Structure formats: C-alpha cells, structure tokens
Amino acid sequence: MSCNFARVGLILFVLLCGTIWAIADDATAAQPAKVNDAIVPVPGGSDTWRERHEAINARIKESHVDLVYIGDSIVGNWKWEGKPVWDHYYAKRNGANLGISGDRTQHVLWRLQHGNIDGISPKLAIVMIGQNNGPFNTGEEIGAGVTAIVQTLREKLPDTKVLVLAIFPRREKPTEERAVLAKANEIASKLADDKHVFYMDVNYLFLRPDGSIPASLMPDFEHPNEEGHRVWAAAIEAKVAELMGDTPTPEMPAQPNGVAATKQ
C-alpha cells in the first residue's frame, strides 16, 4: 500500500512541476522583448536642441554643402574649441557642422529624417556618434544605432561617401563604459565596404599606453581642445581628401606648447 502512495505522490509531483514550468514559460513568453531605443528616431527634448536643429536645417538650405560632419557635442565643438582647425581644413570644402550636444544615435536618426540632409548631395559625410548612448545601451545596441544612421545616409544620399569614425573614449581612466563603446566600434568597423562606406579609428591619439586620456588634448577627458582637434584633423586628412577627390591640406602647425603637450 505504501508503494502505491509513493507512486501517486511521485506522479503528482511530476505533474505539479510540469505545471509550474509551463506557467513560467508562458510568463517568459508574455514578457515583451526589450526595444533597442538606440534605433528608434526621436527628437531632443529641450528648446536649445530644437533651436540648434532648426539652425542646421537653415544652414543646409542657405548655401552649397560638400561635406557634413555628423554627431554630438564632440562634433559640435568644431564650432568652438576646434574652429581654427575647422577653418583650416573644412571651411574651404563647404563644410556643415551637424553636431548637437547630448545627442545619441536615436536623435541623429530623427534629424536625418527631418531636414538635416534634405536637398543636398555632399561628397562626404563624416560620422561620429554613440558616446552619449554609453550609459544607457549595450555595445550591440549602440552598434545597431550607428548602422541605422549609415543605412539612412546611404538611402538619402546615395552619391555621398560615408566615413565612420570610432567613438572617442571618455573618462580619464579606463571604465566599463569604454568597453561598451569599444564593442560598438567593433560593430561599426564592419560597415566599411571601402567603396561607399569607410571606417577609421584614431582613438590612439587620445590615449596613453596605460589607457588614460591626457588633459593636454582633452581637458575634460571627453572633448578635444584646439590641439586635440588639430591632431584629429591631421590624422584623417589624407582619407578625407581621397574621398572628396581633392588635394590634402598641409598640416596645420601645432601651437608652440602643443608639441610638448601631446607627449605627456
């Protein structure tokens, strides 16, 4: 008799476990998959952002554009700390600065669909975006965001070459976020077909052997100063000239204290 009770108990136990597993599977299946917001176009939320977006649209409409530089505040700062360098390399190329502070990939996607590249056919689009996604997204998600941007550029500007730059590192010392951005860069590098899309990583310019960032090039360990912009532009100039079909611009001379600063 005890054996029968044991068998019944075992059967009930197995049935109970099966029910629990089925409920757990149903609950898992019912959970919606996480949406990668890095590929969902949205505008920025501030009045300053909207003003900057409209200013870019006005710039695009007002005169001929052969070069667009697309990104966040790192690109936007070509208008400020990097202006002397911009004037040396890009002003004569009818360059337009499409950088907005705080932008993530999703904001750039929205801008590209709302006027920032309408009615133009530049020779080259330079893209650096994704750093501000670092605290919110995985490297894979950020990489997908960069991919979506490049695909949008290829669709809307089929005759324009695209040069994707590796996302700059930030923070003085290596962090987990840097690893996330490195993964995004790895994914972005695979977009290059060396026909229409090209990739360059010049992050070595801003890193010491121990992985730290010198304040002499990035005082806030995120945005290059004038000297940082100078070495950045010089490093990509040969490729920029090649893709634009013009003659490389002679390197802009370093500031008297700039040469020593880059060796610190």
Position of tokens 């670092």? 134
**Does position 254 have pLDDT exceeding 90, yes or no?**
no
What's the burial of 221, exposed, middle or buried (CB within 10 Å: 0-12/13-18/19+)? middle
Residues in CB range of 93: below 8 A, 6 or more apart: 66, 67, 244, 246
**Are 187 and 197 a contacting pair, CB within 8 Å?**
no
pLDDT tier at 255, thresholds 50, 70, 90? confident
3-state secondary structure of 33: coil
pLDDT at 21: 41
Q: Tell me how far apart the alpha carbons of residues 161 and 149 are, in angstroms, rounded to a whole number.
A: 13
Q: What is the pLDDT of residues 108-124, one digit of tens each?
A: 999 999 999 999 999 99
Q: What is the pLDDT of residues 55-97, one digit of tens each?
A: 999 999 998 999 999 999 999 999 999 999 999 999 999 999 9
H or E element in which residue 152 lies:
helix 139-156
Closest CA to 111 of 83, 152, 161: 152
Give Cα 197 distance to the centre of its chain.
15
